[in-house]
Amino acid sequence: MSDGERNVTIILEADAALVLFELLCRWADDDQDNVNPQHPAEELALARLLGSLESQLPEPFSRQYDTLVADALKRLTPGD
């Protein structure tokens, strides 16, 4: 198996995963204006990360999604 074919596991706390998911959703929805990948493979990697988070997080399907994201942002912000 080549390095490109093996899987990598990243462990994130739930708040960080949800905040990252929201950031990547904005990147995808804004035609990538907020993030400027230097290579097409970087865009593909970001899109795959977004898809992976979406498949693992229940929050994006919650009616309280906005509140859940706001709460996660508060918990991750030092001093708040």
Q: How many CB atoms lie within 10 A of CB 62?
A: 12
Sign of CA dihedral 34, 37, 41, 45: negative
d(CA 9, CA 14): 15
Residue whose token pair is 């035609």: 31
The predicted pLDDT at position 69 comes to 97
pTM of the model: 0.81
Question: What would the pLDDT profile of 11-61 be if each residue is shown by its tens digit?
Answer: 999 999 999 999 998 888 776 555 677 899 988 999 999 999 999 999 999
pLDDT in tens, 61-71: 999 999 999 99
Say which residue the tokens 């995808």 belong to. 28
